[in-house]
């Protein structure tokens, strides 16, 4: 007979962002337990709220299936006395023993029949360790030094196998059938069965399913904004936070004085999002509206106290932001340059003042316009403003807004604003030339400086986000059409950048692995040239595969011969027939696009290899043939090393 | 509960001092010693020996006290409605933390007139760390209708020492809570006692200490004092460890910590120096914690 299983680990409030990975780990750990103990069954669901991690399974066999284990006894040479002793130990008779030959000789053996254990006993024995094995970014102890560690204190455990409680104890908690409801909406002791578990939680103010909580938030928002011509600014990560910080989410609509709309919308949105976890609201034209959506962890706001409290809190925050804005305007960005001498960029790399000097020089070197140079000079000055000290996520953005407010040209302000872009793979690069050059120079300086003092990313450790910086460099150069000849690079940095270029063309642009390798082997110092070569090779793709095989062959022949060019190709030494045909084609098509040459060249190359002996007995003829192949290879390798192209074996 | 209190259900919000009385009574009813504030300048209730030293070692302890907490750099000359140079924390230590500690905490909110069914309470991740004390813990900021009202921490380490019993530390930001409950826009409009405003009691402190902390404090003198208090602390730690001078040594460490904050608000500590000065204070705090543990073990 098979039975359902329910595990609920009841805790104090777990940080929202840790919950989804945790339930995935819980699922994997439990699957592993089923596999390892050979208990049949299927995990039907994992779910969680901030106060509970839940796993449900069905079809668990009541007993583990029986199995056999082969045990080795004494060597056969030890005789029947030893065999009798072994048999006794195995609780059997000597006639039940077998023999087993091993590399070390013959041994007595016994096939022990293992009766399957009761699943409930297995669960009781294994669940405590399983729960403690869930990995967390940071754990704590709560029962005293040396006691169990978990993300937050475990306060109750529900573990049911069919109708029975799985009897185990963990951190002083005995598993039971008693769960707890929402802290304020539910009872604190609720007996449950597997069948009524979710419904009992619901009655007690807990929506177990994350997707139902998500739905409740979105439906609630739609209801609140219906007919008002307003919508929320979509924010998937804020939504996930709210889903996992509540057991019973209910959105409410609040408002603020529209005079705050004079502040930059970036500042308002950041305050609402990061500090208050509110959705911003905009009108149909996309302008920020003087409203916000907060999500409560309760069912209602009967007297409007929650709305009022949130509005007052937000007003105080906005007043702070306005105060910072006014304070910051008392000193222009330019006047803050000196202050950058006391702001450390990195202990080994000096201050932001020094970084600014380097970046300005680099922008000039890259031919940056006066606007770009001006933006580079002011780019880091916002680090000393009260606004950025309070809202660090807004660095760059605040500088850009201030520059504009202080009468700097638009292009300067925008370049400062965008200097940290692109911040991710899917985010945009700066929209204009000045911004691109500044962003590029800033990132390139960070990369070269860090590599110079040995701050090189290893494995998953990349504390200065150098991979992101390098990816930004690659994207700005290619997508922004910036002429950027790689300045001098150390071997380590060259290798690092090579990887990023390769990654970009493969993962972001979808070129095949071998195309990228082939084209990069022909050089990658000019990225836009590399891009156009890649496109050409991709366009030739099906046709070049056969010739790629030939190129591989040519490469091997040249390599094996240890060939280097010593003499020019002599026409007089060319033999009539396939060799001459190849030579003529090669000469004749010189200067034509590679695409058509390759097409026509292919049969000639094939024929050549078919009919002509490269290793001719005559030394001069042999050298001349190798020279012909070498010239062929060199010329065609200008766009790619075709021998890197993987051919489908179709012959 | 005493009989002359305002009824908790009244719509009239509690005064600042009445809120303190209620909280003290509430925690006294749950086994806490009610202590008075520590009589030296500290940046937070955690720094009072009632917390910093008592959380160490295996002896259970429960205490609650209001601690005026001085943060020179937060001063705003009495002009900002939310920020204060000196604010007051109600600090509760429950060592070890009881299993129902969060329920007890929620009960304390009810005791000061917050009807939890009409409000929104959330526990948001916020792990606390004090580098100058070699202390850290795991916990939350407790949000009431979007406002942080309490820091809730399970201490894990203090003075660089793993704690034998894990204490729960509850730190109520009294001005924030009362400002919220009394529904006033400025902290200075809080009713401290019937007919007396926060402004009447504390405004001069804010004004005068802002002037001193930002403008007049003499930097060379502060550095000299820092050095002297550091030496005195070191002397007690190294030479007289056996003479039970751990508390006097800790006082000297607290002096250093406050002087560090003052120097910081005077802008006298560069970014590069900062780490070094924090390290000096931390070294004293760690030395004191170690000495306290040795004395506890010897008892």
Taking the domains of chain A in order of start, what are their residue ranges?
2-63+118-203, 69-114, 210-328, 334-510, 535-644
What architecture (CATH level 2) is domain A334-510?
Answer: Orthogonal Bundle (1.10)
Give me A472's structure tokens: 């930004």
Residues of chain A with C-beta less than 8 angstroms from the C-beta of B274: none
Residue B91, min C-alpha distance to chain A (Å): 20
Q: What is the pLDDT of residues A457-492, one digit of tens each?
A: 887 788 788 999 999 999 999 999 888 888 788 999
Residue B165, min C-alpha distance to chain A (Å): 4
pLDDT at residue B11, as a whole number: 67
Residues of chain A with C-beta less than 8 angstroms from the C-beta of B99: 153, 155
Residue with tokens 């520059």: A403
For residue A113, what is the DSSP state?
A: E
- Residue B204 maps to which CATH number? 3.30.930.10
Q: What are the backbone dihedrals phi and psi of residue B255, each rounded to the nearest 5 degrees, phi first?
A: -60, -45
Q: What is the pLDDT of residues A154-177, one digit of tens each?
A: 999 999 999 999 999 999 999 999
Residue A142, min C-alpha distance to chain B (Å): 5
Q: Which of B214, B202, B197 is nearest to B265 (CA)?
A: B214
Tell me the C-alpha distance between A127 and A53, whole Å: 14
Residue with tokens 């059997």: A92
pLDDT at residue A129, as a whole number: 97
**What is the Cα Rg of chain B in Å?**
20
- Split at pLDDT 50, 70, 90, the class of B61 is very high
- Single out the residue in B174, B194, B211 at which a domain terminates: B211
Give this prediction's pTM: 0.80
Same domain, residue pair B116 and B62: yes
Looking at per-residue pLDDT, the higher value among A112 and B7 belongs to: A112
| Low-confidence winner among A57-66, A397-406, A557-566 (lowest mean pLDDT) | A557-566
A257: which residues sit within 8 A by CB, 6+ positions away? A290, A315
CB within 8 Å: A344 and B272:
yes
Residues of chain A with C-beta less than 8 angstroms from the C-beta of B156: 140-141
Residue A203, min C-alpha distance to chain B (Å): 16
Inter-residue contact A149 to A139 (CB < 8 Å): yes
Same domain, residue pair B205 and B265: no
> In what helix (H) or strand (E) does residue A390 lie, and over which residues does it extend?
helix A386-390
Tell me the C-alpha distance between B198 and B210, whole Å: 17
Same domain, residue pair B166 and B35: yes
Same domain, residue pair B121 and B225: no
CB within 8 Å: A343 and B271:
yes
Q: Is A403 helix (H, G, I), strand (E, B) or coil?
A: helix
Q: Is there a domain that residue B11 lies in?
A: no
Share above pLDDT 70 across residues of chain A, in percent, rounded to a whole number: 99
- Split at pLDDT 50, 70, 90, the class of B1 is very low
CB within 8 Å: A184 and B117:
yes
* Average pLDDT over all residues of chain B: 92
| Low-confidence winner among A131-145, A430-444, A490-504, B267-281 (lowest mean pLDDT) | B267-281
pLDDT at residue A139, as a whole number: 95
Same domain, residue pair B51 and B164: yes
Same domain, residue pair B97 and B177: yes
3-class secondary structure for A454-505? Answer: CCCCECCECCCCHHHHHHHHHHHHHHCCCCCCCCCCCHHHHHHHHHHHHHHH
pLDDT at residue B8, as a whole number: 46
Interface list for B 150-209 with A (CB within 8 A): 154, 156, 162-166, 180, 183, 185
Chain B residue closest in CA terms to A276: B146
Give me B295's structure tokens: 């004395």
B180: which residues sit within 8 A by CB, 6+ positions away? A309, A312, B144, B145, B147, B149
Cβ-nearest to B166 among A141, A245, A316 = A141
Residue with tokens 């869930």: A134
A557 pLDDT higher than 90: no
A262: which residues sit within 8 A by CB, 6+ positions away? none
Is B97's Cβ below 8 Å from some Cβ in A? yes
Residue A507, min C-alpha distance to chain B (Å): 35
Q: Dihedral, CA atoms, A494, A495, A498, A504, nearest 10 degrees?
A: -120
Inter-residue contact A316 to B180 (CB < 8 Å): no
pLDDT at residue B145, as a whole number: 96
Q: Which of A95, A69, A71 is nearest to A83 (CA)?
A: A95
Inter-residue contact A315 to A323 (CB < 8 Å): no
Residue with tokens 């900021």: B141
Q: Is there a domain that residue B2 lies in?
A: no
Average pLDDT of the residues in B212-232: 95
Inter-residue contact A612 to A578 (CB < 8 Å): yes
Tell me the C-alpha distance between A556 and B138, whole Å: 63
Q: What is the maximum span of chain A, computed from C-alpha positions, in angstroms? A: 104
Interface list for B 72-91 with A (CB within 8 A): 80-82
Same domain, residue pair B96 and B179: yes
Same domain, residue pair B109 and B250: no
Residue with tokens 């600042």: B16
- Split at pLDDT 50, 70, 90, the class of A645 is confident
Chain B residue closest in CA terms to A15: B125
Q: Is there a domain that residue B283 lies in?
A: yes
CB within 8 Å: A142 and B122:
no
Residue B232, min C-alpha distance to chain A (Å): 32
A254 pLDDT higher than 50: yes
Q: What are the backbone dihedrals phi and psi of residue A570, each rounded to the nearest 5 degrees, phi first?
A: -105, 120
Inter-residue contact B169 to B153 (CB < 8 Å): yes
Q: What is the pLDDT of residues A22-46, one digit of tens each?
A: 999 999 999 999 999 989 899 999 9
Interface list for B 22-51 with A (CB within 8 A): none
Most B CBs within 10 A among A157, A323, A354, hence the mutation to make, goes to: A323
B5 pLDDT higher than 70: no
A24: Cα separation from own chain's centroid: 17
CB within 8 Å: B180 and A310:
no
CB within 8 Å: A144 and B166:
yes
Chain A residue closest in CA terms to B100: A155
CB within 8 Å: B122 and A306:
no
Tell me the C-alpha distance between B243 and B287, whole Å: 15
Which class for B69: exposed (0-12), middle (13-18), buried (19 or more C-beta within 10 A)? Answer: buried
- Single out the residue in B211, B232, B250 at which a domain terminates: B211
Share above pLDDT 90 across residues of chain A, in percent, rounded to a whole number: 63
Tell me the C-alpha distance between B165 and B147, whole Å: 31
Average pLDDT of the residues in A391-398: 90
CB within 8 Å: B140 and A144:
no
pLDDT at residue A225, as a whole number: 97
Q: Is there a domain that residue B226 lies in?
A: yes
Distances (CA, A) of A27 to A48, A131, A160, A510, B223: 12, 11, 17, 33, 58
pLDDT at residue B272, as a whole number: 64
Tell me the C-alpha distance between A336 and A637, whole Å: 53
Which class for A575: exposed (0-12), middle (13-18), buried (19 or more C-beta within 10 A)? Answer: middle
Residue range(s) defining the domain that contains residue B252: 217-298
Same domain, residue pair B99 and B233: no
Inter-residue contact A398 to A325 (CB < 8 Å): no
Q: Which of A309, A277, A282 is nearest to A294 (CA)?
A: A277
A551 pLDDT higher than 90: no
A125 pLDDT higher than 70: yes
- Split at pLDDT 50, 70, 90, the class of A650 is very low
Average pLDDT of the residues in B172-185: 94
Chain A residue closest in CA terms to B105: A183
- What pairing do the DSSP bridges indicate for beta strands A52-61 and A98-102? unpaired
Q: Which of A585, A614, A587 is nearest to A601 (CA)?
A: A585
- Residue B232 maps to which CATH number? 1.20.58.180
Same domain, residue pair B162 and B278: no
- Split at pLDDT 50, 70, 90, the class of B3 is very low
Q: Is A616 helix (H, G, I), strand (E, B) or coil?
A: coil
pLDDT at residue B297, as a whole number: 85
The DSSP code sequence of A312-326 is HHHHHHHHHHHHHHH
| Helix, strand, coil percentages, rounded to 5, for chain B | 50, 20, 30
Same domain, residue pair B113 and B128: yes
A317 pLDDT higher than 50: yes
Q: What are the backbone dihedrals phi and psi of residue A6, each rounded to the nearest 5 degrees, phi first?
A: -135, 130
B271 pLDDT higher than 70: no
B251 pLDDT higher than 90: yes
In sequence order, the β-bridge partners of residue A627 are none
Same domain, residue pair B21 and B97: yes
Q: How many CB pairs below 8 A link A and B?
A: 100
pLDDT at residue B254, as a whole number: 97
Give me B266's structure tokens: 């005077």
Inter-residue contact A17 to A162 (CB < 8 Å): no
Q: Which of A67, A66, A65 is nearest to A2 (CA)?
A: A65
Q: Is there a domain that residue B1 lies in?
A: no
Tell me the C-alpha distance between A68 and A91, whole Å: 15
- Single out the residue in B181, B211, B241 at which a domain terminates: B211
Residues of chain B with C-beta less than 8 angstroms from the C-beta of A244: none
Residues of chain B with C-beta less than 8 angstroms from the C-beta of A296: 120
- Split at pLDDT 50, 70, 90, the class of A20 is very high
Cβ-nearest to B82 among A13, A183, A320 = A320
Q: What is the pLDDT of residues B144-155, one digit of tens each?
A: 999 999 999 999
B31 pLDDT higher than 50: yes
What strand order describes the sheet that includes A2-11?
A42-49, A52-61, A2-11, A154-161, A164-165
CB within 8 Å: A344 and B271:
yes
| Low-confidence winner among A72-76, A644-648, B288-292 (lowest mean pLDDT) | A644-648
Average pLDDT of the residues in A492-496: 93
* Tally of structural domains, chain B: 2
Distances (CA, A) of A302 to A140, A218, A306: 38, 21, 9
Q: Is A196 helix (H, G, I), strand (E, B) or coil?
A: coil
pLDDT at residue B241, as a whole number: 62
Average pLDDT of the residues in B127-133: 90
Tell me the C-alpha distance between B265 and B100, whole Å: 41
Average pLDDT of the residues in B121-146: 94
* Average pLDDT over all residues of chain A: 91
Inter-residue contact A642 to A636 (CB < 8 Å): yes
Is B147's Cβ below 8 Å from some Cβ in A? yes
A19 pLDDT higher than 50: yes
């Amino acid at each position: 007979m098979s039975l359902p299983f329910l595990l609920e680990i009841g805790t104090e409030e777990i940080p929202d962002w840790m919950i989804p990975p945790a339930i995935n780990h819980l699922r994997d750990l439990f699957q592993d337990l089923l596999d390892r103990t050979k208990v049949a069954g299927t995990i039907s669901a994992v779910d969680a709220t901030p106060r509970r991690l839940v796993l449900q399974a069905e079809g668990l066999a009541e007993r583990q299936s029986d199995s056999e284990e082969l045990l080795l006894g004494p060597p056969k040479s030890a005789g029947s006395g030893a065999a009798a002793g072994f048999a006794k130990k195995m609780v059997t008779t000597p006639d039940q023993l077998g023999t087993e030959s091993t590399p070390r000789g013959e041994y007595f053996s016994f096939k022990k029949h293992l009766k399957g254990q009761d699943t409930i006993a297995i669960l009781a024995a294994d669940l405590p360790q399983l729960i403690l094995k869930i990995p967390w970014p940071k754990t704590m102890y709560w029962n005293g030094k040396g006691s169990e560690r978990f993300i937050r204190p475990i306060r109750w455990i529900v573990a049911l196998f069919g109708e029975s409680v799985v009897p185990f104890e963990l951190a002083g908690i005995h598993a039971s059938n008693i769960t707890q409801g929402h802290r304020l909406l539910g009872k604190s002791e609720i007996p449950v069965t597997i069948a009524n578990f979710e419904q009992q939680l619901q009655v007690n103010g807990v929506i177990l399913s994350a997707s139902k909580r998500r739905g409740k938030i979105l439906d609630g928002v739609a209801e609140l904004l219906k007919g008002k011509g307003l919508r929320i600014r979509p924010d998937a990560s804020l939504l996930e936070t709210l889903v996992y910080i509540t057991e019973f989410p209910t959105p409410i609509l609040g408002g603020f004085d529209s005079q705050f709309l004079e502040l930059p919308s970036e500042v308002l949105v950041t305050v609402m999002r990061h500090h208050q976890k509110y959705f911003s609201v905009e009108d149909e034209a996309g302008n920020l509206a003087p409203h916000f959506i907060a999500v409560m962890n309760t069912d209602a706001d009967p007297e409007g106290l929650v709305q009022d409290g949130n509005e007052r809190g937000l007003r105080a925050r906005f007043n702070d932001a306005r105060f910072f804005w006014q304070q910051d305007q008392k000193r222009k960005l330019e006047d803050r340059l000196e202050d950058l001498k006391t702001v450390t960029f990195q202990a080994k790399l000096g201050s932001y003042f020094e970084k600014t000097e380097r970046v300005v020089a680099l922008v000039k070197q890259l031919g940056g316009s006066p606007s770009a140079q001006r933006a580079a000079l002011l780019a880091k000055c916002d680090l000393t403003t009260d606004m950025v000290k309070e809202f660090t996520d807004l660095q760059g953005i605040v500088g850009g807004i201030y520059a504009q407010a202080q009468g700097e040209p638009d292009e300067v302000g925008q370049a400062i604003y965008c200097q940290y872009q692109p911040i991710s793979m899917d985010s945009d690069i700066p929209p204009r030339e000045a911004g691109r050059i500044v962003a590029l120079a800033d990132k390139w300086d960070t990369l070269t400086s860090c590599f110079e003092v040995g701050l090189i990313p290893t494995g998953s450790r990349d504390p200065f986000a150098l991979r992101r910086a390098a990816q930004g460099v690659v994207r700005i150069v290619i997508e922004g059409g910036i002429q950027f000849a790689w300045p001098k690079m150390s071997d380590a940095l060259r290798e690092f950048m090579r990887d990023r270029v390769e990654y970009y063309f493969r993962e972001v642009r979808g070129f095949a692995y071998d195309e990228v390798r082939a084209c990069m082997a022909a050089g990658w110092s000019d990225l836009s040239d590399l891009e156009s070569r890649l496109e050409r090779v991709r366009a030739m793709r099906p046709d070049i595969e056969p010739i790629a095989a030939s190129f591989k062959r040519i490469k091997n022949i040249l390599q094996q011969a240890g060939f280097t060019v010593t003499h020019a190709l002599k026409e007089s030494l060319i033999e009539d027939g396939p060799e001459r045909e190849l030579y003529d084609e090669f000469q004749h098509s010189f200067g034509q696009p590679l695409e058509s040459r390759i097409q026509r060249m292919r049969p000639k190359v094939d024929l050549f290899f078919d009919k002509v002996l490269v290793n001719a007995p005559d030394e001069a003829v042999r050298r001349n043939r190798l020279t012909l192949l070498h010239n062929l290879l060199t010329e065609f390798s200008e766009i790619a090393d075709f021998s890197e192209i993987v051919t489908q074996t179709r012959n | 509960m005493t009989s002359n209190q305002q009824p908790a259900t009244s719509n009239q919000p509690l005064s600042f001092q009445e809120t303190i009385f209620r909280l003290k009574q509430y925690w006294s009813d749950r086994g806490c010693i009610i202590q008075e504030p520590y009589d030296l300048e500290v940046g937070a209730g955690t720094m009072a020996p009632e917390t910093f030293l008592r959380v160490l070692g295996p002896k259970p302890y429960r205490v609650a006290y209001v601690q005026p907490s001085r943060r020179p750099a937060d001063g705003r000359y009495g002009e900002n409605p939310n920020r204060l140079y000196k604010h007051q924390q109600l600090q509760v230590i429950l060592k070890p933390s009881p299993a129902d500690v969060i329920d007890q905490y929620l009960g304390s909110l009810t005791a000061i007139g917050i009807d939890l069914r009409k409000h929104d309470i959330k526990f948001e991740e916020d792990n606390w760390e004090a580098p100058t004390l070699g202390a850290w813990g795991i916990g939350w900021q407790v949000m009431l209708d979007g406002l942080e009202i309490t820091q809730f921490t399970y201490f894990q380490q203090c003075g660089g020492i793993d704690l034998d019993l894990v204490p729960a530390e509850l730190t109520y930001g009294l001005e924030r809570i009362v400002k919220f409950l009394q529904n006033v826009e400025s902290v200075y409009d809080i009713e401290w006692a019937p007919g007396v405003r926060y402004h009447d009691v504390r405004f001069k402190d804010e004004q005068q200490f802002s002037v001193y902390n930002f403008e007049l404090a003499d930097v060379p003198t502060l550095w000299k004092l820092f050095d002297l208090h550091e030496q005195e602390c070191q002397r007690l730690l190294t030479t007289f460890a056996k003479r039970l001078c751990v508390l006097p040594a800790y006082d000297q460490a607290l002096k250093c910590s406050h002087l560090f904050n003052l120097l910081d608000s005077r802008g006298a500590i560069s970014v590069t120096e900062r780490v070094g000065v924090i390290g000096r204070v931390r070294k004293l705090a760690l030395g004191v914690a170690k000495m306290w543990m040795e004395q506890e073990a010897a008892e």
